[in-house]
A and B are shown apart, each in its own frame.
Chain A
Amino acid sequence: MSVLHLVIIAPLLLAIIVPFLSKKIHGLHTGWFVLLLPIVLFIYFLQLIPVMRNQESIQETMNWIPSLGINFTAYVDGLGLLFALLITGIGALVVLYSIFYLSKEKENLSTFYVYLLMFMGAMLGVVLSDNLIVLYVFWELTSFSSFLLIGYWFERERSRYGAQKSMLITVFGGLAMLGGFLLLHVMTGSFSVREIISMASEISSDPLFIVALVLVLLGAFTKSAQFPFHIWLPDAMEAPTPVSAYLHSATMVKAGIYLVARMSPVFAEQGIWLWLVGGIGILTLLWGSINAVKQTDLKAILAFSTVSQLGLIMSLLGVGAAALHFTELDTNIYMAATAAAVFHLVNHATFKGSLFMVAGIVDHETGTRDIRKLGGLMQIMPITFTIALIGSFSMAGLPPFNGFLSKEMFLESMVDILSLNIFQLETWGVLFPVLAWIASVFTFIYSMIFLFKTFRGKYKPEKLPVQPHEAPIGMLISPIILAALVIVFGLFPNILSESIIEPAASSIMPELIAAGQTFDIHISFWHGFTPALWMTIGIITVGILLYVTLPKWKKVYEKLPKKITLNNMYDAGLMRLESSSNKATSFYMTGSIRQYMIYIFIGLISILSFSLISKNAFAIDTSNVAPVGVYELVLAFIVVAASFTILMARTRLTSIIALGAVGYTVALFFILFRAPDLALTQLVIETISVALFLLCFYHLPKLSRKEERIKFKLTNAIIAGGVGVIVTLVTLSAHSTKLFESISQYYIENTAEKAGGGNMVNVILVDFRGLDTMFEIAVLGIAALGIYGMIRLRLSRRKK
């Protein structure tokens, strides 16, 4: 176990301790303890920057399941480091912000920070693991912890709805992605990302390759809220604002972008990757920006804006992939697209993070996020206004903020792809710059709406639930830091370009860099009268024009059909699924345990007899059978007699005792066959279950003998006989056929030597097959909690 592993696991470890900490210490906000961790981790990752600048990478392996090629390989390169810095850096700011946002008295803080830390650890795991299966495990943990965070205020119906929606969509994508990973394993025989990358050119002709590509992209698109999977993100805004700032703008939603960037070297040689990533990205950019304009909730505006900005980064990665697809061309301009993607990733995290925090402050201090009620807050909240101004102008792509620089690079890349042959005017490629331009106009408009509808205009105190005032200083620190970064990165972009962007971009496109060479990026503020600058000027002019005339054309949105939206389709689909599965369930879930038994036994008979007949597996070989002694015969007789007693019993008490007799006799069989462990277990189980039956005994209705008709009994007899016959046949056939050597010899030889034990059964349980036992006791625990829950629920209902 290395330091790197410890760093990844540290948030998870802290998550275990936090509940105890917050129970012990009452005076202090739990967030202060939590805050230390991301700061320490951030500093740790900062000192890795010089290493990455030398185009090096760090790799540490820890064995997990080596026999299956699943090892926890932590791997840091430029791309991983960039994300790790975002996760810990923004994480620290968000924790600081949350200390002032979430009240110590009203909220259940320990659960909040447990979920948040779980998320932080999971996210670090995603971006720093080289093994695809480990990556997948962490990936699903991010979905899971995000589900818990969105549903943090679980008493609200919208929170539960949003949490469920995000879970359904992202986990669906995650499963598809797992399928893609397994296909990659089938093709390459490895789960290691870097090994797969080294085999990329060999597998690209494989028929499974395209399937794997699409499946992996499904994972990335659902996570990064790309069209049409973006519908979960606006609903995820039901989470507390620090969560929205962290998960839904800076980190989790970027996991999909990370995946696309990480897998680019594997898939990008295929044209379909370029078209899918670039096309879906630009479509999402446009769709998100158009939808953001019609929102009236501050956080909803930001949510759609995030959707659209993620599309922007995605489309840049798609265009950047052209560098790998068309090897004969000048790759520099496509490398620029990749660099722009990385740059915008950082910028987006800074300005969107600060804007989310501003939305949270406005919500916190005025009690509403509805822009129809807000207005004129500029005088009351001057600091918040300044932060919002910086963030919004950066989002709109105005100088001198960092958003301007990356937006220029984006537009430039979109124009540059026209120089490719396939992107001629007569082909669809021309759509890229056109859509990018339209989307940027809308981006400009919603940025202005966010800023001016909140802070300018008429002040309407009568509509606000709370008398507004400036936020406490603690709440302002984090957004101020982010806004300062927006300006610093805007004025001195080359702080980033050498330290972060170059290593990150070169780990996205490792093949394009010759050994010893570095990837040179210089971002200049003034880049001449390029097409991109003219486009920006156009965006600002048209944007201002459209913003001023906003009330006139905003009605267009109302003319759009409301019924045929993606959200409605999702809801209707979910309803259909629920009602049809309800129908199917109520068809067989009758509540009668006898019927369930009938299903189970009929299933048993049909499956076993089908496989016996289809495989022609009947074999009865008596040569190997031990002689049947007097003891066995006596015991067999007792079992049979006791079973018949159960059938014939007139009272339940008799049947319970007879059932116990069957169990104890079976235990005697075990003793006879020298299986003391089994006998011991069977005896105790039998004792406890008889006691349990006696406990339940009071509640059962009196046994009536008239309740069943003779025909019903006949089918029961047939089923019972069938089970007996089929089990006997299977046992005999299994005994008579030996396809493999018995495994027992292995255990006989190794129990003492490898596990230092004397009792083979116990050693198998706790050591050789310990994983089975672990899951068995997990099932046992879940079953017990299930029974507890069911009975408690019934009791509380009865009380009502």
Chain B
Amino acid sequence: MGSNDMILQTATKVVSFIILLFSLHIFFAGHYNPGGGFVGGLLTSGAIVLLLLAYDIKTVANSLPINYRYMIAIGLLFAVGTGVGAFIFDVPFLTHAFDYFELPLLGKTSLHTAVLFDIGVYLVVVGATMTIIQTIGESE
């Protein structure tokens, strides 16, 4: 795209960062409030798409050197791994567990194995959307 998108590019620098943070917030809030891996992942890809629109594919690929296809694989590994991990504790596939812990700074926090699964969802969603968008974009 042209080089005279000063306003868009400057705004993007701030906005995409905010979107990224928000997507992380949404991801972690998911278990109690609207959100979760799926929406969080989509929002993250939304932020990257914004970058793609403001800059060109090469610039974004240089500043975010991520192989999105590996990201899909890692995400699937997380999801399947959480399921398989249940076997170690001799419970059926994909059984989740949670408990409450006293953590520094955060205070009483509940930790879930479900969040590992959700990380898998998150990674696959980001990986899949970005793979699609990037390949379509590169074919220009």
Contacts and interface: CB of A to CB of B under 8 A. Distances in A.
The 9 closest A-B pairs by CB, nearest first: A758-B32, A784-B128, A676-B34, A777-B124, A684-B42, A762-B36, A756-B98, A781-B72, A784-B131
B42 A681 contact: yes
Interface in B97-140: 98, 110, 112, 114, 117-118, 120-121, 124-125, 127-129, 131-133, 135-140
Contacts of B75: 777, 781
Interface string A661-692: 00000000000000011011100110110011
A765 interface: yes
Contacts of A676: 34
A363 interface: no
Given A785-B72, A785-B131, A766 B110 contact: no
Given A1-B87, A688-B42, A774-B83, A698 B140 contact: yes
A771 B94 contact: yes
Interface stretch (B5-13, B45-53, B58-66): B45-53
Interface in A745-799: 755-759, 761-763, 765-767, 770-771, 773-774, 777-778, 780-781, 783-785, 787-788, 791-792, 794-795
B69 A788 contact: yes
25 contacts: A62-B87, A63-B92, A64-B93, A680-B35, A684-B42, A691-B133, A698-B140, A755-B112, A757-B31, A759-B33, A762-B35, A765-B37, A766-B37, A766-B114, A770-B96, A771-B83, A771-B93, A774-B117, A780-B125, A780-B128, A781-B72, A781-B124, A787-B135, A788-B131, A795-B138
Nearest to B94: A770
A1 B88 contact: yes
A625 interface: no
Interface residues of B, number: 56
Interface of A: 1, 5, 62-66, 72, 676-677, 679-681, 684-685, 687-688, 691-692, 695-696, 698-699, 755-759, 761-763, 765-767, 770-771, 773-774, 777-778, 780-781, 783-785, 787-788, 791-792, 794-795
A755 B95 CA distance: 10
A784 B96 contact: no
Contact of B90 (A62, A677, A759, A761): A62
B89 to A, nearest CB: 8
B45 A688 contact: yes
Given A766-B114, A777-B121, A759 B34 contact: yes
B72 A63 contact: no
A676 B88 CA distance: 36
Nearest to A684: B42
B124 A780 contact: yes
Interface in B63-78: 68-69, 72-73, 75-76
What is the interface of chain A mostly: helix, strand, loop, or mixed? helix
A756 B76 contact: no
Contacts of A767: 96, 114, 117
B88 A781 contact: no
A715 B50 CA distance: 40
Contact of B131 (A1, A777, A787): A787
Contacts of B96: 755, 766-767, 770
Given A759-B36, A770-B117, A784-B72, A685 B83 contact: no
B76 A680 contact: no
A1 B86 CA distance: 10
Contacts of A780: 72, 124-125, 128
B49 A755 contact: no
Contacts, number: 167
A692 B133 contact: yes
B24 interface: no
B80 interface: yes
B92 A788 contact: no
A766 B42 contact: no
Contacts of A681: 38-39, 42
Given A64-B92, A774-B79, A794-B139, A755 B26 contact: no
Contact of A766 (B68, B88, B121, B140): B121
A681 to B, nearest CB: 5
Given A781-B128, A784-B68, 9 more contacts: A680-B26, A680-B34, A692-B136, A755-B114, A756-B98, A767-B117, A781-B124, A788-B135, A791-B138
Contacts of B98: 755-756
Contacts of A680: 26, 34-35, 39
A778 B76 contact: yes
Contact of A762 (B31, B72, B73): B31
Nearest to B133: A692
Given A687-B46, A781-B72, A787 B36 contact: no
Contacts of B136: 692, 695-696, 787, 791
A684 B96 CA distance: 28
B133 A766 contact: no
B28 to A, nearest CB: 11
B18 interface: no
B132 A788 contact: yes
A678 to B, nearest CB: 9
B46 A765 contact: no
Given A756-B98, A759-B30, A766-B121, A781 B127 contact: yes
A680 B90 CA distance: 37
A676 B42 CA distance: 15
Nearest to B110: A756
A688 B129 contact: yes
A738 to B, nearest CB: 28
Given A770-B83, A771-B94, A777-B121, A784 B35 contact: no
A673 to B, nearest CB: 13
Nearest to A698: B140
A791 B30 contact: no
Specify which of B34, B80, B91 lies most central, judged by the most chain A CB atoms within 10 Å of its CB: B34
A125 to B, nearest CB: 14
A676 B32 CA distance: 12
B114 A695 contact: no
A770 B116 CA distance: 12
A473 B88 CA distance: 43
Contacts of B38: 681, 765
